[in-house]
A = this chain, B = another copy of it.
């Protein structure tokens, strides 16, 4: 496996990109692996992908554990496949430090799509960032986008910063709730009301579903009384994803949101914001790795010894470090 990777690593990138563009799952997987490995060839990959990007609608899907994210994602994939769309799925797993195909075994529901050439599914670790997206997510997204996916679904557990991060990445953010979890209040507390473009109350056949919908709508009406008339009001959909109930309504809502994004100019605003975040993240990662290299070097050891001994303050030492990093 490892040896095979090495061999494939020497594959010319233009051919790899072309193969991905033609729908080769192997080529897409290989490119995402280059992203995850922070390969030195990544710059070349991204240069080639750049002009191919921008076609995919990026849908973020988040919610607390147990609300049925995987089931809903899988149902959405089916619905989009019925409409003839190519779909990419990035499933972010915050509980695992490992990435790649290994995790897919856990995602039983996703296996319905495992043999469909119009669906590409990838699990990514969030590398210990609790609830956070991996730094590699935006670039994996870029690979799927360039590979001609009409849609990319990014699924992540809604804890900590995940909702905010996923919203910063997605064109449309879907927040999942389930009845009887006090979720509307929790959502309000967690600031989810601000990031959600569409709410889905899943497991709507359970007791309390209507109450959750009511609470949610109540809170939304409180928050949006001053909204501009041209603004987007997040709809609240009810689903039983395990049976596929209500999924078409979610797809319709996503389609309306896509149209609104384009008409309002919000789509360009969001994508520019995403690009800003992506550029800054790459720059920061690069500076940090240069700094990590320096930390092991003699110059850093000298600075640290001076600071530890009180001969130098840490700010002046940081200045000298920055000189080294950016030289």
**Which residues of A does B touch, CB under 8 Å?**
42-43, 46-47, 49-54, 128, 130, 138-139, 142, 160-161, 268, 271-276, 278-280, 282-284, 286-288, 291-292, 295, 300-301, 303-305, 307-319, 321-322, 325-326
User: Besides the contacts A52-B310, A280-B292, what 16 more A-B pairs have beta carbons closer than 8 Å?
Assistant: A43-B316, A50-B311, A53-B310, A54-B308, A130-B160, A272-B308, A275-B303, A275-B305, A275-B317, A279-B307, A280-B321, A282-B317, A283-B318, A283-B321, A283-B325, A286-B318
Known A275-B305, A304-B275: A282·B314 in contact at CB below 8 Å: yes
6 A–B contact pairs at CB < 8 A? A43-B316, A54-B309, A130-B160, A276-B300, A278-B314, A322-B326
Is the Cβ of A43 less than 8 Å from the Cβ of B313? yes
The residue from B276, B283, B304, B316 contacting A47, defined by CB atoms under 8 A apart: B316
Copies in the complex: 2
Chain B's nearest CB lies how many Å from the CB of A321? 5
Chain B's nearest CB lies how many Å from the CB of A90? 17
Is the Cβ of B268 less than 8 Å from the Cβ of A308? yes
The distance in angstroms between the C-alpha atoms of A52 and B311, with both chains bound, is 10
Is the Cβ of B52 less than 8 Å from the Cβ of A314? no
The distance in angstroms between the C-alpha atoms of A130 and B161, with both chains bound, is 10
Is the Cβ of B278 less than 8 Å from the Cβ of A284? no
Is the Cβ of A279 less than 8 Å from the Cβ of B304? yes
The residue among A46, A282, A309, A313 with the most chain B CB atoms within 10 A of its own CB is A313
A315 neighbours in B (Cβ, 8 Å): 42-43, 46-47, 282
